Structure 1
């Protein structure tokens, strides 16, 4: 029954995370009724299936309202709206390890005292400290520091895109209820509580520094630090890409696998020694001693990881197994798994928001299913291959649903990486972190380097990774059933039908516009622009979003994942409107991942010394890039595309800024039209009004220059006469876009205004069913948004 209760409780808590609003607690009156129903049900007999079903519903009901209660408490710990953007003085402790950023450092701050009168500040916030300039970095801060500081805070906010990462959910699970930055320097303070955690953080930082010194400039020092103390910030993006392509991301930090194997090693060593010490074995059985020391070792390793949520889940699972052994309760592995599942959800009701939750429990469940004789009794190496087969099949639906990609070389990569990393690199790294011998760190780095070389060879294969479209719920359920059928013992009839059940997952039905219809998605990339335009058989990307301060760009983080989720592996064309990093920052990544057949860019016609280093890199990567010019036209599937701007004269005139010589695209279908003026300002608008006033009319207008005060002149709006205006703009951006007077102008024209900072990604659909604009923040709304 524990398995039924754990499953029901977890499903109830997970269901809550799909709601747009928290439920009213008056519905709790149903709980006693369900309890009475369960008590009233007859003992096992003809209707014996009713009792487990009733327990499942009761547990789900409990899990649902338990998660709702916890969510209500967490949402109450919030930054008051009237304190956004205002300076508050705080005292508290820096928890975890500070993270170096290109502009300074970032850290999690536990607020213990609010010194500004009447200020309402949550208990945990993330703060950035920015350098005054490149030559003056901020004073270094350390884990466990007790600080007094002044911060400017904002409520949690992240981009919302279809199939995209939910940053606000990520913050909620970690109890972080505000973000912000320091004003001035933080000062040391006294009287902070939480010394044990502070001592742990200082220990972790000391171990990190010791390893960094021992490995100096070694290529994989960041991986060694991640394996020792769970700090992944020093691993370069290129290495993360390699791990993702080869399916070993879970191995390159303190993962559940490492915690389990480290615990198993401690268990085996203690049990081995305990059996050879009769006085000890008489007082306490070797198995129980091994379980105690194994659990202690696991807890210590999880502490080194800073009690990261994925490592905590494994610790709960090991604790459940150790408890059953200590209580002399004979329990199956599935009962232990169910107990761990229940413990994880009770302590972390938001676990369902984390991909690691689903992947870790799915992997363990698959191993248990494959190991219970259902796949025969093969030799050891065949058993290993069977386990890899079962895990790969079980994770396939989750990987496609969450990440829209599957590593085709993952089974091979994990076959050699797991033993080398978990059994060799991890113990060596831990020894190197606590012992003064530098050769240990070098030896551990050598093992990691061997693994990396193997991964590099696998990544060099023609197609190490396969990208699939996001499947629907029915495809995922059928695929799970198919995976279970394929792991049944050989010889069972109809086992091969499992392959048919995988087909809807591998070849989903794609949502494409019909002939003559147009779909345009304005993605939420912050302060920048990225638009995906689709007809029946063609795809165009207009601008690829910004390059962020962290060094990553929207092309890799937002646009490419969205395209993969839609089943798009290649684009027909890419237009980069002008040479500003908020529009061209993601072009290099996108052209590498989706290989456009052609590219247009306004800066392709400019002298090299007029083009930024970012723009020059794009032109080098796509050497056949042509400049945008008025009069360029093409027809795709009954939809007309036409460039209205710039002219050849704009390229020769130095008085024109990059914004005003940017590409302006008009798209017209039988069901409506769209005008995309990029970042043109007053001069660009005047040029269009003088040359092509009749061609400016459009049903949907993308706000010029993000709604700046130097754009959207009354005469320009009068010529366009839009029914809808979409403003691509960053949340609380430093430019103050859109300007209030421009907003008033849009509204006075009678247009409906949508903004990506408030509405998330905006999907424009022009087709037989009419014209529809869909806001992602509305369709994907959750109670924490």
Structure 2
């Protein structure tokens, strides 16, 4: 059965790679297939039995595939029609989850109970943001009302379908929204009809979310102004957004980020403590033991506490996996049957993927189940007795080594200090901080939070020191899929019975076992040595990233990389630099930028610059910014962009066409008019990057640099605004390809219809970041190869804008 469960999970994973969903009618073929396989298994012929087993495995593979397809069909059917995007819709519903508060808004999930607007169709669960009256930072007179989980509200909203940026190596928001059943997102419109209707809705799910909110508020009140309050909140209720970005960077660099969320380890520890306590107390009562064995009572108590903790923490995948595993063990104890560790893990796997078919797309799924599988591989069925400390060290070493391939594949970085950091943090956090924190959730025991915070501060001091080490993290390119598979096979071979097969004294050496286990290390090498492709001499690889309403372009030659603009900033904790640009550069193997051009001060072009400067070495920064701008202050080597600047990298020419000295001397010019305009020229074609120049700037360019404007590719000025792309400019550039960098349903209405028509009249091919995602251009072989993000990795859940 374990093999069939694994095959079922593989079928679910296979469905999640499909560009479109299959016809449900094909699922009926499972019934005759299963019946035929069963008949073959009942025969006495070994050959037919083997065929029956193979066919039965195929049936389970198909069952997983169509189970996931059915889930997807059902969830995708609950959709916001295109015609109702951006229109006022009045709703009645319930705040469904723990609200998230930042400096700009309150964001919350909303279960729709009633649609009051006539003929409107709205999905059952949506995500809403409630901004202050001016869309700025909260002010007492303009802040939205206090939102609490479980409250019923009548509100007026404007919604749009789930739509996210699509970039190579980027986060897939649409997949994330589908898994969480968020089928539309939007904001609450300022309206006198927005009112809280009545008392709390007392459904179990809402009560849990309300309890999570109360615990969070209790922690904030008990620890006002304390540095690590957010970490304790995350350990108690799973609200990881309470942790500042600077602290997350420390956790990531030291490899202990799994401890700062509700991990399976925490759930297991708490469950184990309750099991031991109940077992010890129960055995001391003859009355109780005569009615129920102490082991069964302790198992039931441990499972109940584990489930309660997991629910309080938001029921993330690691917590789910642990609860299901503990449930299998508890059921076996109640039935008086023994069960193997692999069976426990298999049934937990089945429960996770059956209830959440999209779990296979989550990094937590692979890291959680993978870590348990490795522990089983190096611990179960080994000959000889080993000191507990040596056994623990062997397990830690095995987990650290085995997680390198998936971590490099998913995040392109691995903590080098992780073994030491975890050796300190695991006992301190799991055995001391977490129990004290959970005790602190009780109203009369909130004083326990102070010692929990004190212990956490000690831990964090050590983590800060290790994080600051120059070689704390190994970062590299995203390894090809085949190298990750080879590395995992090599680690499996390395971990086979006989210790680690390296003779490093981690356990008793066995005289028998699998030979030449050291060859497993050789299988790791391709992951580091198989470098990503790069441009040849004279070639240009240009990636126009999808950053929503903003601009970020990465230009690469054979030995140099330039970043042109850095996309928008979203909040104090997030921007395009940290979310999109830095992950892209790391995955592509770009370890430093030779130059970064910040064309002008507008936030949609400069918002990610500080994050890039913090994460990636930058040779020089070119901009039109004032000297006192934060980006200028952060840059070590900087200069103004000026018309006439020119340089050549690897046979590719870069020319700055605007602004001129005259533009800088005109104080009446707006920031857009000072945009750094760059042209990149190769023997295969050219590209013009005009940022946000306006009509006057275009006319100035036509007068001063008219002969230099003709380009094969044009990134449309000012996102296709009507204040730019004049007929004269469009005709002189005469691009074969035009790219509009615009946000989905942006409030400016970019690109404007009349602007689009001007380019269409020239016969230019038009691409848009909101519909096509990132645009990848390769100038080579006297031509330009064009690929788009949504075409490169299309999945069935990706929305096609109407």
Structure-2-length-normalised TM-score: 0.94
Bigger drift between 376-385 and 235-244 goes to 376-385
Matches for 1:358-437 after TM superposition, within 5 Å? 358-374=366-382, 377-437=385-445
Matches for 1:496-515 after TM superposition, within 5 Å? 496-515=518-537
| 2:12–2:68 CA contact under 8 A, matched in 1 | yes
Whether 1:73 aligns to 2:82 is no
Whether 1:184 aligns to 2:176 is no
Structure 1 gaps of 5+ residues are none
Pairing partner for 2:693 from 647, 667, 680: 680
Number of the residue aligned with 1:151? 157
Pairing partner for 2:789 from 772, 776, 784: 776
Aligned-pair distance for 1:684? 1.4
Aligned-pair distance for 1:50? 4.9
Aligned-pair distance for 1:383? 1.0
Aligned-pair distance for 1:656? 2.3
| 2:685–2:782 CA contact under 8 A, matched in 1 | no
Matches for 1:481-560 after TM superposition, within 5 Å? 481-488=489-496, 489-490=498-499, 492-549=514-571, 551-560=573-582
Alignment CA distance shift 1:43-1:779 (3 Å): farther
For each residue in 1:435-459, what CA deviation from the matched residue of structure 2 results, as whole angstroms up to 9, or x when unmatched?
Answer: 4245311111111111111110110
For each residue in 1:285-306, what CA deviation from the matched residue of structure 2 results, as whole angstroms up to 9, or x when unmatched?
Answer: 2222221111000111122123
SS at match of 2:428: helix
SS at match of 1:350: helix
Q: Write the distance in 2 (CA, Å) between the matches of 1:701 and 1:245.
A: 40
Q: Write the distance in 2 (CA, Å) between the matches of 1:401 and 1:441.
A: 37
Bigger drift between 273-282 and 457-466 goes to 273-282
Aligned-pair distance for 1:545? 1.1
Q: Write the distance in 2 (CA, Å) between the matches of 1:375 and 1:78.
A: 57
| 1:522–1:531 CA contact under 8 A, matched in 2 | yes
| 1:155–1:178 CA contact under 8 A, matched in 2 | yes
Pairing partner for 2:724 from 685, 704, 711: 711
SS at match of 1:597: strand
Q: Write the distance in 1 (CA, Å) between the matches of 2:15 and 2:659.
A: 51
Aligned-pair distance for 1:377? 4.3
Whether 1:31 aligns to 2:30 is yes
Whether 1:655 aligns to 2:663 is no
Q: Write the distance in 2 (CA, Å) between the matches of 1:317 and 1:239.
A: 31
Number of the residue aligned with 1:744? 757
Q: Write the distance in 1 (CA, Å) between the matches of 2:257 and 2:411.
A: 13
Q: Write the distance in 2 (CA, Å) between the matches of 1:508 and 1:580.
A: 40
SS at match of 2:404: helix
| 1:375–1:487 CA contact under 8 A, matched in 2 | no
| 2:317–2:364 CA contact under 8 A, matched in 1 | no
| 2:151–2:200 CA contact under 8 A, matched in 1 | no
Number of the residue aligned with 1:343? 351
Matches for 1:136-535 after TM superposition, within 5 Å? 136-184=142-190, 186-190=194-198, 195-374=203-382, 377-488=385-496, 489-490=498-499, 492-535=514-557
Pairing partner for 2:631 from 615, 618, 622: 618
Bigger drift between 464-473 and 721-730 goes to 464-473
Q: Write the distance in 2 (CA, Å) between the matches of 1:464 and 1:375.
A: 36
Aligned-pair distance for 1:722? 0.3
| 2:433–2:456 CA contact under 8 A, matched in 1 | yes
Structure 2 gaps of 5+ residues are 502-513
Whether 1:720 aligns to 2:728 is no
SS at match of 1:97: coil
Bigger drift between 309-318 and 412-421 goes to 309-318
Pairing partner for 1:572 from 564, 579, 594: 594
SS at match of 1:318: helix
Alignment CA distance shift 1:653-1:16 (3 Å): same
For each residue in 1:208-264, what CA deviation from the matched residue of structure 2 results, as whole angstroms up to 9, or x when unmatched?
Answer: 222211111111011111111222232111111111111111211222221121111
Whether 1:8 aligns to 2:2 is no
For each residue in 1:466-490, what CA deviation from the matched residue of structure 2 results, as whole angstroms up to 9, or x when unmatched?
Answer: 1121122211110111111222324
Aligned-pair distance for 1:324? 2.2
| 1:554–1:585 CA contact under 8 A, matched in 2 | yes
For each residue in 1:1-46, what CA deviation from the matched residue of structure 2 results, as whole angstroms up to 9, or x when unmatched?
Answer: x211111111111111111110012222431343144221456957
Q: Write the distance in 2 (CA, Å) between the matches of 1:261 and 1:44.
A: 50
| 1:377–1:383 CA contact under 8 A, matched in 2 | no
Pairing partner for 1:693 from 699, 706, 709: 706
RMSD: 1.8
Q: Write the distance in 2 (CA, Å) between the matches of 1:543 and 1:718.
A: 25
Whether 1:598 aligns to 2:599 is no
Q: Write the distance in 1 (CA, Å) between the matches of 2:700 and 2:789.
A: 34
Aligned-pair distance for 1:553? 1.4
Matches for 1:82-97 after TM superposition, within 5 Å? 82-97=83-98
| 1:7–1:56 CA contact under 8 A, matched in 2 | no
Aligned-pair distance for 1:703? 0.5
SS at match of 1:96: coil
| 1:577–1:583 CA contact under 8 A, matched in 2 | yes
For each residue in 1:146-178, what CA deviation from the matched residue of structure 2 results, as whole angstroms up to 9, or x when unmatched?
Answer: 111111111001111001000111111111100
Aligned-pair distance for 1:713? 0.7
Matches for 1:113-132 after TM superposition, within 5 Å? 113-132=114-133
Q: Write the distance in 2 (CA, Å) between the matches of 1:51 and 1:472.
A: 36
Alignment CA distance shift 1:375-1:121 (3 Å): farther
Q: Write the distance in 1 (CA, Å) between the matches of 2:207 and 2:339.
A: 38
Aligned-pair distance for 1:192? 8.2
Q: Write the distance in 2 (CA, Å) between the matches of 1:600 and 1:722.
A: 26
SS at match of 2:668: coil
Q: Write the distance in 2 (CA, Å) between the matches of 1:232 and 1:375.
A: 42
Report the number of matched residues. 775
Whether 1:112 aligns to 2:113 is yes
Q: Write the distance in 2 (CA, Å) between the matches of 1:85 and 1:334.
A: 51
Q: Write the distance in 2 (CA, Å) between the matches of 1:376 and 1:51.
A: 40
Aligned-pair distance for 1:310? 4.1
Q: Write the distance in 2 (CA, Å) between the matches of 1:471 and 1:199.
A: 44
Number of the residue aligned with 2:508? none
| 1:704–1:712 CA contact under 8 A, matched in 2 | yes
